[in-house]
């Protein structure tokens, strides 16, 4: 597989303090790449530099071979962005918003098709402020994909969603990957990273402290002799919750 | 050509959506279309019927003779006095005056119109009582009564013509009320309100919610976003002014008329709306939040609101202030609307106003693009 994103020694400095401190990684075509880390680790800033929203203070980043710092406009046509809290102009029908986002890339699309992809067809004439949290996240994904981007950035996409909505969103993100799109996402949920991400970079203090597949990261820890104090159960409380309430979306 | 079309696509899509949004938002509809009408009704109510000034008076006829009744009828015919016939005694009338229900009391004493022993013609004295708080009405009424008595004196005594006379000629074009002169100011006020208060509150709010930042992750360019907003806002402004003018023309109370070319007027209104919107756009585009935008928008709008001739005609100002205020961007707009609408001037006559607005437009939009921020 060829690499879609290539990041070398990426650095961002705020008031003399490096927030992102010489980060390097590559993201392959059609993989889900997770960036994990506690608050303030530099996850969002890293994403924002790749999205062209923040200037790159040092180092370099290319997407599909194009330098991010010197071609921000070309980069924007290649990427789709899902912000941490998607927010849209009010009193605007979902179809109108999809049409507008497509127009920003100079495209006209069939908005209803994109809404159908994220199971929001029956909400076509609703306004975004009338959607539930999960629906809004799904709509935001549809809006971010109107121009068939090669890379899709998601910043903590499932924060604040109920378990059903989270699972639904995971499926959606996997579908996007299976279309050959490289997905880069941040998250605070380890279960989410384990289930969803093909590879994971763990950040702390602006640096990447580990980078591998979830399985190999766990194996490496076990190899060091790590043992959980309690007995491993075959199910956890979330399994109980899903068993009791089902996987069906509630909105 | 294909490229131009592609570049203008987001502009038109945004503008159409933005106009639809306006009509879905009850508060926006109120401030765009009804708020200016409220001002029109307030000012129209004050200035609309200036030709029919009248005073409410009580008329106490103590003489109750044929002569006094004839005099009373004549006073009523003048049309200036609204006689409240329910007030029959001086004390009732005095109470009514204390409550400001009437402006003055006219008393015809018992001896009014009786012939004096030494002469063979009737004479008498009309007593006018008015509140000290209402000197103006008192003075106006006394001169009205004097003129009535003057003609009465002439008819009774039959003196030869007076050597010195004053002839009174009412001037001013027929059919123009003082609201005609005030109306362009109201149009200016509407354009100012729409152009400034909209974007200075909407853009900072969209920034705080991250909506504009999301737009910034697409290939949308600042000029496309700005042009889309300019289109929808000038369309809304034109519509608001059209509603205002339609109401002002059709409601008899206002009796406003358009003397000049209506297309020229529309063109001028659009240009003014675009320029004034640019000011709001500069502020809203620059400000990160409403706390930055609100004071700045007040600072910019207040001088124009009071000095550009919205509510007070500029010719009432001291000369130096007239000179200063003529350079405010709203001034050429209001002047131009007045010239086209009220004075019926053509394109060539308003070229200076067009030119000044255009210069302001260039300055303002150069600034707007320079300071615009997506977040």
Tokens of B322: 């007239």
pLDDT tens for B189-201 read: 999 999 998 899 9
The alpha helices in chain B, defined as continuous H runs, are 2-24, 26-29, 35-47, 66-77, 90-98, 135-157, 178-208, 211-216, 222-250, 262-286, 290-307, 319-325, 330-341, 351-371
The pLDDT > 90 percentage for chain B reads 47
For an interface test with A, give the residue of B2, B217, B223 to mutate (most A CBs within 10 A).
B217
CB-based contacts of A249, cutoff 8 Å, min separation 6 = A119, A134, A164, A165, A168
Q: Which residues of A touch B13 (CB under 8 A)?
A: 99-100, 103
Q: Which of B7, B17, B220 sits opposite A96 (nearest CB)?
A: B17
Instruction: Say if residue B170's pLDDT is above 80.
Output: no
| Four-residue CA torsion sign, A15, A17, A22, A24 | negative
For an interface test with B, give the residue of A100, A128, A129, A153 to mutate (most B CBs within 10 A).
A100
Extended beta strands in A17-57, E state? 17-28, 32-36
Q: Which residues of A touch B7 (CB under 8 A)?
A: 106
Residue of chain B whose Cα is closest to the Cα of A87: B211
SS3 A214: helix
Instruction: Say if residue B223's pLDDT is above 80.
Output: yes
pLDDT tens for A39-83 read: 889 999 999 999 999 999 999 999 999 999 999 999 999 999 999
Q: Which of B14, B211, B218 sits opposite A88 (nearest CB)?
A: B211
Q: Which residues of A touch B214 (CB under 8 A)?
A: 81, 83, 86-88
For an interface test with A, give the residue of B9, B15, B225 to mutate (most A CBs within 10 A).
B9
Q: Which residues of A touch B (CB under 8 A)?
A: 51-53, 73, 76-77, 79, 81, 83, 85-92, 96-97, 99-101, 103-108, 147
The predicted pLDDT at position B161 comes to 54
User: Is the CB of residue B281 less than 8 Å from the CB of residue B368?
Assistant: yes
Q: Which whole-number Å values give the CA distances from B297 to A125, A247, B233, B327, in the listed order?
A: 35, 52, 17, 18
For the CA atoms of B311, B317, B323, B328, the dihedral, rounded to the nearest 10 degrees, stands at -20
The predicted pLDDT at position B173 comes to 46
Higher per-residue pLDDT: A37 or B172: A37
pLDDT tens for B283-333 read: 999 999 999 999 999 999 999 988 998 877 787 788 898 889 999 999 999
Q: Which of B20, B24, B218 sits opposite A104 (nearest CB)?
A: B218
pLDDT band at B166; cut points 50, 70, 90? low
A–B CB contacts, 8 A cutoff, strictly below: 66
Cα separation, B37 vs B197, in Å, equals: 17
SS3 B143: helix
Tokens 């970079």 label which residue?
Answer: A201
The predicted pLDDT at position A149 comes to 97
Instruction: Say if residue A138's pLDDT is above 90.
Output: yes
Subunit contact B217:A89, Cβ cutoff 8 A: no
Instruction: Say if residue B116's pLDDT is above 80.
Output: no
Subunit contact B10:A106, Cβ cutoff 8 A: yes
Tokens of B2: 């294909």
Question: The pTM is what?
Answer: 0.79
Residue of chain B whose Cα is closest to the Cα of A91: B21
Residue of chain A whose Cα is closest to the Cα of B2: A106
What is chain A's mean pLDDT, rounded?
92
| Four-residue CA torsion sign, B84, B87, B90, B93 | negative
Cα separation, A98 vs B204, in Å, equals: 23
Tokens of B191: 């354009």
pLDDT tens for B40-64 read: 888 877 765 555 567 788 888 888 8
Q: Is the ipTM of this complex over 0.85?
A: yes
Q: Which whole-number Å values give the CA distances from A47 to A36, B135, B188, B246, in the listed order?
A: 12, 76, 47, 54
The predicted pLDDT at position B375 comes to 86
**DSSP assignment of B154-211, as one string?**
HHHH-PPPPSS-------S-TT--HHHHHHHHHHHHHHHHHHHHHHHHHHHHHHHTTH
Q: Does B8 touch chain A (CB under 8 A)?
A: no
For an interface test with B, give the residue of A106, A126, A130, A155 to mutate (most B CBs within 10 A).
A106
The pLDDT > 70 percentage for chain B reads 90
């Amino acid at each position: 597989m060829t690499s879609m994103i290539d990041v070398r020694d990426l650095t961002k400095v705020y008031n003399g303090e490096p927030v992102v401190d010489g980060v390097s990684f590559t993201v392959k075509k059609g993989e889900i790449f997770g960036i994990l880390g506690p608050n303030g680790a530099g996850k969002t800033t890293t994403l924002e530099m790749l999205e062209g929203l923040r200037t790159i203070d040092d180092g370099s980043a290319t997407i599909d071979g194009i330098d991010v710092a010197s071609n921000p406009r070309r980069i924007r046509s290649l990427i789709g962005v899902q912000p941490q809290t998607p927010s849209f102009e009010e009193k605007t029908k979902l179809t109108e918003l999809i049409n507008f986002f497509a127009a920003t890339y100079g495209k006209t699309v069939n908005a209803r098709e994109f809404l159908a992809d994220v199971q929001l067809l029956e909400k076509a004439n609703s306004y975004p402020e009338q959607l539930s949290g999960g629906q809004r996240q799904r709509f935001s994904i549809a809006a971010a994909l109107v121009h068939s981007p090669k890379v899709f950035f998601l910043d903590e996409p499932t924060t604040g969603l109920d378990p059903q909505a989270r699972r639904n969103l995971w499926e959606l993100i996997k579908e996007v990957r299976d279309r050959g799109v490289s997905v880069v996402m941040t998250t605070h949920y380890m279960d989410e990273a384990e289930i969803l991400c093909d590879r994971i970079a763990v950040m702390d203090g602006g640096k990447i402290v580990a980078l591998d597949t979830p399985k190999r990261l766990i194996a490496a820890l076990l190899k060091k002799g790590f043992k959980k104090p309690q007995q491993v159960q075959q199910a956890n409380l979330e399994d109980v919750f899903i068993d009791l309430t089902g996987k069906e979306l509630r909105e | 050509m294909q490229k131009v079309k592609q570049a203008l696509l987001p502009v038109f899509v945004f503008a159409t959506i933005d106009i639809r949004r306006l009509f879905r938002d009850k508060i926006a509809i109120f401030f765009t279309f009804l708020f200016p009408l409220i001002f029109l009704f307030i000012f129209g109510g004050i200035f609309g019927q200036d030709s029919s000034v009248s005073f409410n008076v009580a008329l106490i006829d103590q003489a109750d003779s044929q002569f006094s009744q004839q005099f009373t009828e004549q006073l009523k015919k003048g049309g200036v006095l609204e006689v409240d016939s329910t007030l029959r005694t001086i004390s009732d009338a005095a109470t009514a005056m204390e409550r400001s229900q009437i402006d003055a009391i006219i008393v015809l004493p018992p001896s009014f119109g009786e012939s004096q022993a030494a002469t063979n013609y009737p004479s008498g004295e009309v007593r006018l009582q008015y509140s000290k708080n209402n000197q103006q009405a008192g003075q106006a009424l006394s001169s009205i009564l004097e003129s009535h008595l003057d003609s009465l004196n002439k008819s009774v005594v039959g003196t030869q013509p007076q050597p010195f006379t004053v002839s009174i000629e009412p001037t001013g074009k027929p059919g123009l009320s003082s609201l005609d002169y005030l109306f362009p100011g109201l149009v200016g006020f509407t354009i100012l309100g729409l152009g400034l208060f909209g974007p200075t509150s909407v853009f900072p709010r969209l920034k705080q919610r991250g909506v504009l930042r999301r737009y910034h992750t697409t290939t949308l360019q600042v000029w496309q976003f700005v042009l889309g907003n300019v289109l929808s806002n000038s369309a809304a402004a034109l519509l608001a002014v059209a509603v205002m003018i339609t109401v002002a023309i059709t409601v008899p109370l206002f009796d406003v008329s358009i003397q000049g070319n209506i297309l020229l007027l529309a063109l001028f209104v659009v240009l003014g709306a675009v320029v004034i919107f640019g000011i709001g756009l500069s502020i809203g585009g620059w400000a990160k939040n409403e706390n930055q935008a609100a004071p700045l928008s007040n600072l910019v709008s207040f001088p124009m609101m009071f000095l550009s001739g919205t509510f007070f005609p500029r010719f009432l100002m001291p000369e130096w202030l007239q000179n200063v205020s003529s350079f405010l961007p709203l001034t050429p707009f209001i002047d131009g609307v007045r010239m086209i609408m009220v004075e019926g001037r053509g394109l060539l006559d308003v070229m200076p106003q067009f030119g000044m607005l255009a210069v302001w437009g260039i300055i303002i939009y150069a600034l707007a693009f320079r300071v615009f921020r997506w977040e």
